[in-house]
Amino acid sequence: MKKLQDKVAIVVGGGGAIGRAIALKLSAEGARVVVIDMMQESADRVAHEITKLGGESSAYALDITCYDKVKETFDGIAGHFGRIDILVNSAGGSAREKMALYQELPIEVLDWMLDVNLNGPLYCIRAAVNHLIKQNYGKIVNISSIVALGGMSKCVDYAAAKGGIIAATKSLAIELGSYNINVNCVSPGKVQRSTDDIDQAAFAKQYTYLNRICTQDDIADMVLYLTLPESDYITGQNMVVDGGRSLGLKGS
């Protein structure tokens, strides 16, 4: 039997590159995967890919910055499946072209970044946690970033939000351990979403101390491990998957 057979796993941000990889790996271990994304089309695409491979999946569009909508969706998922076993918070991201020095950062960008990267994941946990407590079991895996550990210029908002995720992970692990709920975090380094038109050796040399780039599967493998029985005695930890980059934030 597969290690996650019939477990119900929610992957928030499952339509993105890392979220998709996580959803596929959870499904390959037998989980029934609920793919949640801001865009219905993105969620549908990953759910369809899972079902084509013989897995069971459903897709929901959801704005995680609205708690009422998050709670309604999660309650509906729990009602449909009868349970929630695994929650992976993979949604979020930097401001990209709107990144700026903090004294120049528009307040609306700051608010949005905190909503998407901190409040949204906390809303998802809040909406799921009582279902996990009720069944006296659960695995929560949050995605942070090595930017939270070492800092980066023009990323004050992102670093603050991702640092908050690490801190919340530790406190939640303390609160929820007596209910057999494990709460952990994964902090990726520089993940190359696509290998098209890049010099992989040069990328690896710039951003890691290893000889290859970091892929979404590297992150998904760690997330998967934190949902398996083998990780039952691990909680409150931030697992860094960065090829050593945070030893000096190489390349920044």
| Model confidence pLDDT, tens digit, residues 51-72 | 999 999 999 999 999 999 999 9
| Model confidence pLDDT, tens digit, residues 184-200 | 999 998 887 766 667 88
Better-scored residue on pLDDT, 3 or 191: 3
pLDDT at 241 over 70: yes
What percentage of residues in the chain have a pLDDT greater than 70? 96
Report how far residue 116's alpha carbon sits from residue 133's, in angstroms, rounded to the nearest whole number.
25
At residue 179, the pLDDT reads: 98
**Overall pTM > 0.85:** yes
Beta carbons of 35 and 59 less than 8 angstroms apart = yes
| Model confidence pLDDT, tens digit, residues 10-48 | 999 999 999 999 999 999 999 999 999 999 999 999 999
pLDDT at 163 over 80: yes
- pLDDT averaged over the chain? 93
Better-scored residue on pLDDT, 77 or 95: 77
Beta carbons of 124 and 87 less than 8 angstroms apart = yes
Catalytic pick among 67, 158, 179, 225 = 158
All domains of the chain in start order, with CATH: 8-247 (3.40.50.720)
CB under 8 Å to 46, separation ≥6 — which residues?
14, 15, 19, 20, 23, 24, 35, 37, 57, 59
Better-scored residue on pLDDT, 208 or 119: 119
- Report CA-CA distances (Å) from 116 to 48, 88, 192: 25, 15, 21
Q: Is 158 in the active site?
A: yes
